[in-house]
Structure 1
């Protein structure tokens, strides 16, 4: 459930309880209605959080339950109205919830200016659809940072077992800015007993960057590894279209440093768009340094950028091409990193094998890193099956509206699963994209 879902459900509870503030509204009948509504809403929350029920499905069932328990429902007029609503909502729910990998394919076909797809099999490129176009990588860039980490550990520059204070990491955390990834990682570390004397290992920090996509962990590793080293690694690996890396989380604070009490949001957005990229990157670096040192504190701030400001941040994220990340995936999958760096990189990226036992039935190796904002949905993965066949897939989607983003999220897994498991489907995708 995202923040908007929480706001909606908690808003229902608040509005339901509000009339009870007046004594004359506290009849047995009204109290009964309130209890039913609150129980249904809590049931939706429990179904989604505890039993992993699809949010929209739970919402539809809850809506139907409210209608059933409302005595006013049972008139011809209301039955007709509610029946029509249920039919419309049911069709909408089916459209959203059904497994439809072709939705992703159709989105790629219909949006060539904002999408990319790269697929290679056994070192042979099969699909290079708009794959040379530079697009915002979002958290997918963390794959490059993971490789530089692996290289420095293998070279003895860093130690996997060196300790990192959670206090330092938390200074780099901008609350609610990464989909609660950092907080979920902290909970996992605590439940697994990996936090000792308020410190964790550097390797756990790197895992938190990939598995939970913690932006705070990412920015910390950027400091430790060195931005220059990460950018140089991209050059050495032949990622010719990769833009320069800079801290992710601190860039969200740039609008706060640029605004003033008299400035309207429209002017602030224009100022941010006109800021040279070199200045934008250096500002993000300066803010990140100040956060790490504790000279500025954002511990009491909660992520609250408007969607228009988030769009500026999203558009200015580190960019790269699907070709670049297809090449990076192949380097990892083919164990082309020197020494033990490949094993370290695999340990970080192959979390799907560690978190889902069923993947072992299909693959010997499966590594992935996605990336998303309100406007971006990316994924990069490599796989090797038990017959030794290898495949690399990179999908980049930008300039998404709310509906497109939600539908892509629902269907991306089934699309990727079909690509990984069916040569016929890969050939279908190739044919349709070639003709579009």
Structure 2
């Protein structure tokens, strides 16, 4: 829950309790209403912090609870008003939540400056919309890191079954920065009996990076594999439209390291934007090293940057073109890596086949890795259906407003399914974007 959430809930409590300072207003009914309101606010906080429920969802249920607990709700006039509002809300919810893959087409068409789509069928690109433009990858870059991991396993530089203390991973764990991915991975590996003596296997760490998108696991692997090795790998693989990799979590702490100078938000943003990318990467690597040695304690670090500051971090994330990730997916899908590396990377990437048995009814292989921030929504996937047809799809969407992010997230899966399963739809998308 960010600072704005805390301010909003604190404001509700403040406005509820202030009238009670007046003795005349301190009636039994008003006191009961205040108790109910404070209890509901506490319930929202517990739901978000303890049960990891989305703040917006918890807040909506809180508002509903306030309405239901208000005795005035049950008058004829109030019931009519709430009935009409519920009808309007239902219609709005249908409009927002209905399955509408055409929304994705429309967004791509109207936003060429911030959108890319690459689709290949059986090795031939069929849609290449703004696909040579370098855009921030967010967690989609973890595919490249996973490939380097697989290659170092192939070269016997590291061992899949070597054990990694959880304490070493926790050095890079910054709470509330990966959508609960790290906690979800820990729970899953715990359920599978993968935690022994407070340690896990290196391969489980890699799976946590890809399947659950744990940022802590990612930065651990970046440090273990070596930034130089990862960046050299992209060169060896011929990825010429790919920026250099640097640690993700530590970059989140760059604003905090600069804020010690007492800068205002505007001054901080100006200072961040004036940093060259080389200096920015070096600073991220320096902070990452301090996290590794314990000089910076991640458990004590706070991530409460405003959306405006987060925007700078998001814009400076490692970038590449959709074409490059289409090429990278093709290398994996066609087993063009050495045998052991090919097997290792498939095991990491094909979590959709491992977690959803229904996929086996239509597909032989599905490998996927998404990536998102408040402003980014990306996905890269390779698929082979039961007929042997192969597809690579890369969609990179940046500079998103809140409602665009919401609607695109809701409709992206159906858009991708239709691209995979409907040749007429692929033609429709291609023609719409060409025109």
> What is the TM-score with the length of structure 2 in the denominator?
0.89
Give the direction of change, closer, same or farther, for the CA distance of 1:20–1:420 in structure 2 (3 Å limit): farther
Partner of 2:334: 334
Gap runs ≥5 in structure 1: none
1:194 alignment partner in structure 2:
194
Q: What's the offset of the Cα at 1:208?
A: 0.5
Q: Is the CA contact 2:40–2:66 (under 8 Å) kept in the aligned structure 1? A: no
The answer for the alignment partner of 1:274 in structure 2 is 274
Distance 1:13 1:360 in 2: 50
What's the counterpart of residue 213 of structure 2?
Answer: 213
CA distance in 2, matches of 1:380, 1:315: 19
Q: Deviations over 1:274-314 (max 9, x none)?
A: 11111111111111011011122231122111111101111
Q: How far did 1:415 drift?
A: 1.2
Q: Identify the range of structure 1 (19-28 vs 406-415) with the bigger mean alpha-carbon deviation.
A: 19-28
Counterpart-to-counterpart distance in 2, 1:35 and 1:262: 40
Alignment match, 1:158: 158
Q: Quick one: structure 1 residues 275 and 57, their matched pair in 2 at CA, closer, same or farther if it must change by over 3 Å?
A: closer
**Bigger Cα displacement from structure 2, 68-77 vs 89-98:** 68-77
CA–CA separation in structure 1 for the residues paired with 2:308 and 2:219: 24
> What are the residue-to-residue correspondences of 1:35-434 with 2, within 5 Å?
67=67, 70-73=70-73, 78=78, 81-434=81-434
User: 1:255 & 1:59 partners in 2: Cα distance?
Assistant: 29
| Residues 1:27 and 2:28 aligned together | yes
Mapped contact 1:64–1:86 kept (Cα < 8 A): no
Alpha-carbon spacing, 1:9–1:283, altered in 2? closer, same or farther (3 Å): closer
Counterpart secondary structure, 1:120: strand
Counterparts in 2 of 1:316 and 1:200: CA distance versus 1, 3 Å = same
CA contact (8 A) 1:19 1:25 kept: no
State the alpha-carbon separation in 2 of the partners of residues 123 and 139 from structure 1.
25
Kindly provide the CA deviation profile for residues 70-115 of structure 1, in whole angstroms up to 9, marking residues without a partner as x.
4434556545543443343223212221111111111111100000
> Counterparts of 1:351 and 1:159 in 2: how far apart (Å)?
21
Deviation at 1:330, TM superposition (A): 0.7
Cα distance in 2 for partners of 1:220, 1:35 equals 45
Q: Is the 2:177–2:303 Cα contact (8 Å) retained in structure 1?
A: yes
Q: Relative to structure 1, is the Cα distance of residues 413 and 19 closer, same or farther in structure 2, using a 3 angstrom cutoff? A: farther
Q: State the alpha-carbon separation in 1 of the partners of residues 138 and 400 from structure 2.
A: 14
Q: 3-state SS of the aligned residue for 2:147? A: helix
* Distance in 2 (alpha carbons) for counterparts of 1:97 and 1:109: 21
Q: Give 1:14 shift.
A: 5.2
Say if 2:376 and 2:399, in contact at 8 Å, map to a contact too.
yes
**Distance change in 2, residues 1:281/1:61 (3 Å):** closer
* Offset of residue 237 of structure 1: 1.3
Question: Could you tell me whether the CA contact under 8 Å between 1:181 and 1:214 is conserved in 2?
Answer: yes
Structure 1 residue 141, shift from structure 2 partner = 0.2
Structure 1 CA distance, aligned partners of 2:417 and 2:18?
50
Contact 2:136 2:315 in 1 (8 A): yes
- TM-score of the superposed pair, with normalisation by structure 1: 0.89
Residues in 1 aligned to 2:256 and 2:228: alpha-carbon distance in whole angstroms:
27
Q: Against the structure 1 CA distance between its residues 410 and 261, is the aligned structure 2 distance closer, same or farther, given a 3 Å change threshold?
A: same
Post-superposition CA distance 1:159-203 (Å, at most 9, x none):
000111111110111111111211222222222221111111100
Q: Secondary structure at the match of 1:365?
A: strand
SS of match in other structure, 2:193: coil
Tell me, what secondary structure is at the counterpart of 2:298? Answer: coil
Distance in 2 separating the partners of 1:429 and 1:294: 50
Q: Distance in 1 between matches of 2:12 and 2:203?
A: 43
Cα distance in 1 between the residues matched to 2:129 and 2:216: 33
Shift of 1:394: 0.2
- SS class of match (1:358): helix
Looking at structure 2, the residues matched to 326 and 434 of structure 1 have their Cα atoms a distance apart, in angstroms, of: 19
Query: How many angstroms apart in 2 are the aligned matches of 1:227 and 1:424?
Result: 43
What is the number of residues matched between the two proteins?
A: 431
Q: Measure, in 1, the Cα distance between the counterparts of 2:120 and 2:214.
A: 29
Any unmatched runs of 5+ in structure 2? none
Which segment is superposed worse, 69-78 or 301-310? 69-78
Report the Cα distance in structure 2 between the residues aligned to 1:228 and 1:57, rounded to whole angstroms: 43
Q: Tell me: CA distance 1:345–1:403, structure 2 relative to 1, closer, same or farther (3 Å).
A: same
